[in-house]
Amino acid sequence: MCCYNWNNLHFTMKDLYIVGNWKENKTVDEAISFLSEFTKTYEARPNIKVIMCPAYLAVPQVSAFVKSNNLQVEVGVQDVSKFSEGAHTAEVSAYEASEFANFSIIGHSERRSRGDTDDDVKTKVEMAIKNNLEPIVCVINENVPVPQGTKIIAYEPVEAIGTGNPDTPENAESIASSIKSKNSQVQYILYGGSVTSENVRSFTEKENIDGVLVGGASLDPKAFSSIIKAC
């Protein structure tokens, strides 16, 4: 009997991004313990790019661990300054971040609610691109402006973040398809908001959803590697 479902095969083989956003969590020691545990269960897959975004202080050590253990993981940061280097106390420039990271989340709703405007997001995306960081721009719906040069969008409805109440895969798919049709430059749309190993596949199997941005469940090495395995 035939056992291939070519539709499913297509969906499982498309390129996927799985981003772990640790937010304001984990000391350097805790980050390294996470990675040591994570390597025991993580199985890299050719079509899946895994991106870990630690808090800034842990970024250099996470990057060093990834390189020295040849871990198939990319390092990202959670934000960059909208300024170039200079007299901007407490800011970290995209140039400085690019020493260790290849990606940056930009415009997360937790940053927007603390003051980041659409214009700030646009400037940060420009800074990121100029310094070879691939921006992952977060939007809460299809009406948020997408800055020029953005290839990866994370659709994250605020009410789904950290609540255990994810959006429905059908609604996320319809928003993703609308964002893609409005912005031809966008190649990948990730869904974010209460993603777990139980629900991840219901999102990634949708035609226009190309991965997930994971907060809470990315803090636990087993939970995060189960998400990667399940999608």
Which positions lie near ligand PGA, rule CB under 6 A?
A: 21, 156, 161-162, 192-195, 213-217
Residue 191's DSSP bridge partners are 155, 212
CB of 213 to ligand PGA, least distance (A): 5
The answer to whether the beta carbons of residues 98 and 131 sit under 8 Å apart is yes
78/183 with CB nearer ligand PGA: 78
Residue nearest to ligand PGA (CB): 215
Place of tokens 């969008």: 153
Question: Rounded to whole angstroms, how far apart are CA atoms 48 and 192?
Answer: 16
CB of 20 to ligand PGA, least distance (A): 9
**From 74, 110, 142, 156, active-site residue:** 156
108 is a catalytic site residue: yes
CB of 17 to ligand PGA, least distance (A): 13
Contacts by residues 115-124 (CB-CB < 8 Å, ≥ 24 positions apart): 118/144, 118/145, 120/82, 121/145, 121/147, 122/147, 122/148, 123/82, 124/79, 124/80, 124/81, 124/82, 124/94
Residue 177, Cα to own-chain centre: how many angstroms?
18
**From 74, 108, 110, 142, active-site residue:** 108
Residues serving a catalytic function are: 108, 156
